[in-house]
Amino acid sequence: MTYNKKNIEDIDVAGKKVLVRCDFNVPLKDGVITSDKRIVEALPTIKYLLSKGAKVILCSHMGKPKGEVVAKYSLAPVAARLTELLGQNVELAADTIGADAKAKAAALKEGQAMLLENTRFDKREEKNDPEFAKELASMAEIFVNDAFGAAHRAHASTAGVADYLPAVCGYLIQKEIGVMGKALADPERPFVAILGGAKVSDKLNVINNLLTKVDTLIIGGGMAYTFLAAKGYGIGTSLFDETKVDYCREMMAKAEEKGVKLLLPVDTVVAKAFPDPIDAPIDVDVVPSNEIPADKMGLDIGDNTKKLFADAAKSAKTVVWNGPMGVFENPTLAKGTIAVAEALAESEAITIVGGGDSAAACEQLGYASKITHISTGGGASLEFLEGLELPGIACLQDK
């Protein structure tokens, strides 16, 4: 995949109707936005287009309405927040490609923006239906994709419309592919990748791809126990994927053959059972990773592992991190994830954090400003690390 894509500055937008796919899939509680981070991140692209006299038609999905019109997934709160942030009225269309959307789009003046209703209110969106994409494209003259969080989906509003309009990226996607693309294609070395999370199966192809690129690969989180089992260690009642033991052995052999350091936890925080509820107080012990008692499960990395992983991160020139080291939602079992976030914040390296829990950890701990780049897309950043082509980026014009 080529990462050198045209962006909004490479195309003349003055007086043109520009369809902009954003990621406005924000968290809501009782109809109120609890974090407007995704809206704020879209502002540089929107403001640039407005300043150049474009007529801006914004669109996004929210939630999983499965092709039905579901009131709680309306983008009305997003339109209200955009109106506040931009200091100008951003009208919400009553539909996505219906009469109201088309009338509002046709009436736009230069330097004005509007928002279409949730693209997923139409079941053709997720099927990348050409007719739906064509109708969406018919309202505009240029397509801008700035929704990295949805770029791994081949939907009508992320990829399909590019069949009918000249397509470029906004600043958010430009930054994602610039920082992450360089890290994977031409990293400053030593290059260290830290992978966590529950299941090996989620990261199979990521591990395989990264072993051809990194100097050190660190494995933590629930997925580490299948690797420990592959080394012949007893792992008690820890999370374990029996079908992936041979794969883990292959990956350890591949690391050795490529001269890549593969670091696994050397000590483990164990408890009798998974916390229930997830944030409940819990009694824990710390044991060496090859001495996990038969009746206990590993739920976080221990102090020696924290130091091992932190030292590797601090000695790197480029670090990519995706996935927590333990049960991050529990204060007792979040310490490994916190230690990794701290190490990245203190590192002099280029630090890139994939979306999801790793990003949440950096933000909650106040380290976000010390990280070079926090990705806005969990699934998209994982597929990026796998070396897959992202449909929402592949469809954009190359420079």
Is 38 tagged catalytic? yes
Q: In this structure, are residues 170 and 8 in contact, taking their beta carbons and an 8 Å threshold?
A: yes
| Pair type for strands 216-219 and 261-263 | parallel
Please tell me whether residue 191 adopts helix, strand or coil conformation: strand
Is 379 tagged catalytic? yes
SS3 content of the chain, % helix, strand, coil (to 5): 40, 15, 45
Among the listed residues 53, 111, 379, 387, the single catalytic one is 379
Among the listed residues 356, 377, 378, 392, the single catalytic one is 356
Among the listed residues 5, 21, 38, 203, the single catalytic one is 38
Is 199 tagged catalytic? yes
60 CB contacts (<8 Å, ≥6 apart)?
21, 22, 23, 24, 25, 75, 78, 115, 118, 119, 147, 157
- 52 DSSP assignment: T
Q: In this structure, are residues 318 and 187 in contact, taking their beta carbons and an 8 Å threshold?
A: yes
Please tell me whether residue 114 adopts helix, strand or coil conformation: strand
Phi-psi region of 41 (alpha: psi -120 to 50; beta: other; left: phi over 0): alpha
Residues with catalytic roles: 38, 199, 356, 379
